[in-house]
Chains A and B, each alone.
Chain A
């Protein structure tokens, strides 16, 4: 048995005796606003960039996927790059949040977060990055309040829901009654959604276990694996009323793309988005097929759009060590260039890196 093999089995044996949980979401931050269950965090740093950055994670996952662990944290990286970084922590919905509407979250809460961040930073708008469902929510908000956006970055954010993926097919199954689910449970339990995500790759659990044994000799991999598992098993329920509209109007109706979706009564048309827009998609994303996320840059009214298509999956490609060396610097550059553009006359540009 060579040294690597020896380390593999020793590490695995130690893994089950570990008492300390991995450190997640550790970048120092202050709470600058709180309302209902959500909070707006501002990461501590010495910003040099003019415009603040607001991170909008998915409603059903914890925000710390963008601040996974020291050295593998997107937020920490951007703070080091000189940005004034804010992040929404959606918190855990309680039973009464079954009545929380999509409009209250996407128009009310998200709008407040952007206003608080801009006011705190002394600007009138912000660079906004939405990840997964957070990207969809920011795009809808940008379509109704374009003045709040210095730029929009949508990472693996679903826009078109009529793809052939399992989630789309399941949501459009006629025998699946969304209202029966929200009446019975109020908020949709995270275990149900987790189950559906796991069915996207039915062999995922066994593949993960084998992958763990395969790379158990690598201490850095083990730390990352445990942090990601902690995050993956720390999901939250979906507020019932918001879920009903999400499924009925977006998944089933695809109303965002047929320009009939509304936010608080106002039309939310992607064509109304005029700020610089960056769509990031991942080749092996089985949660949000890349084509359904890429459509954002085809539909926005902005003359300054970029599409970045990378290898990797829905989560790994955004939080891995490789992402910190390739993807994160590109996002920082996109924001930095637009900070300069904000001061200089706008020019038309459209790029894609596939």
Chain B
């Protein structure tokens, strides 16, 4: 009886050969260059339409999505700075406690 396991063996041979062929084809500059151009054109189109929408929105004096993103990022950076300072403070306290127990060095 022709079982699934037997069919799988022939599938593996086909899959390996097909994958190798497609990998070779995808690596070709003839495929990569036009794909890059197409993707870049799509991205530029999206960026241009977003910019147009943003201009219209900001004309009304309203904060844009970018404004909000920049502010939130600054808040995140501020949180990191506070944590840096907390770490330094903690280190100074630990150093002070250490020098209390060991006494000042000559």
User: Which A positions have Cβ atoms within 8 angstroms of B?
Assistant: 5, 8, 35-36, 94-100, 104, 108, 112, 115, 164, 166, 169-170, 173-177, 180-181, 183-186, 199-204, 206-207, 210, 213-214
> For the complex, is B97 an interface residue (Cβ under 8 Å from A)?
no
The residue from A35, A96, A170, A214 contacting B83, defined by CB atoms under 8 A apart: A35
Tell me how many residue pairs across A and B have CB atoms closer than 8 Å.
Answer: 110
Query: Do B22 and A202 have beta carbons less than 8 Å apart?
Result: yes
A175 contact set on B, CB distance < 8 A: 32-37, 40
Select from chain B the residue with minimum beta-carbon distance to A33.
B83
> For the complex, is B102 an interface residue (Cβ under 8 Å from A)?
no
Select from chain B the residue with minimum beta-carbon distance to A183.
B47
The residue from A169, A176, A177, A203 contacting B18, defined by CB atoms under 8 A apart: A203
Query: Do B26 and A96 have beta carbons less than 8 Å apart?
Result: no
A5 contact set on B, CB distance < 8 A: 3-4
The residue from A36, A166, A176 contacting B76, defined by CB atoms under 8 A apart: A36
The SS class assigned to the B binding surface is: helix
Query: Do A99 and B69 have beta carbons less than 8 Å apart?
Result: yes
The residue from B32, B37, B69 contacting A186, defined by CB atoms under 8 A apart: B69
Query: Do A104 and B80 have beta carbons less than 8 Å apart?
Result: yes
The residue from B34, B69, B80 contacting A96, defined by CB atoms under 8 A apart: B69
> For the complex, is B105 an interface residue (Cβ under 8 Å from A)?
no
- Quote the shortest CB–CB distance from B62 to chain A (angstroms): 17
A278, B29: Cα distance in complex, Å: 36
A175, B11: Cα distance in complex, Å: 36
Query: Do A96 and B44 have beta carbons less than 8 Å apart?
Result: no
Please list 16 pairs of residues, one from A and one from B, whose beta carbons are closer than 8 Å in the complex, sorted by A's number: A8-B4, A104-B80, A115-B87, A169-B27, A174-B33, A175-B32, A175-B37, A175-B40, A177-B40, A180-B44, A202-B23, A202-B26, A203-B15, A207-B15, A213-B4, A214-B4
Interface size class, chain B: 35 or more
- Quote the shortest CB–CB distance from B100 to chain A (angstroms): 19
A202, B24: Cα distance in complex, Å: 11
- Nearest first, the 5 closest Cβ-Cβ pairs linking A and B are A175-B36, A176-B36, A96-B72, A202-B22, A184-B43
> For the complex, is B68 an interface residue (Cβ under 8 Å from A)?
yes
Which interface residue of A35, A97, A99, A166 has the most chain B CB atoms within 10 A? A99
Query: Do A36 and B80 have beta carbons less than 8 Å apart?
Result: yes
Select from chain B the residue with minimum beta-carbon distance to A180.
B43
B27 contact set on A, CB distance < 8 A: 164, 166, 169
- Quote the shortest CB–CB distance from A36 to chain B (angstroms): 5
A204, B39: Cα distance in complex, Å: 23
- Quote the shortest CB–CB distance from A204 to chain B (angstroms): 8
- Quote the shortest CB–CB distance from B45 to chain A (angstroms): 8
Query: Do B39 and A181 have beta carbons less than 8 Å apart?
Result: yes
Query: Do B80 and A99 have beta carbons less than 8 Å apart?
Result: no
Query: Do A201 and B4 have beta carbons less than 8 Å apart?
Result: no
Apart from A94-B72, A95-B65, A175-B35, list 13 A-B contacts with CB within 8 A.
A36-B80, A95-B72, A96-B68, A112-B80, A166-B23, A169-B27, A173-B29, A173-B35, A173-B36, A175-B37, A175-B40, A184-B46, A203-B18
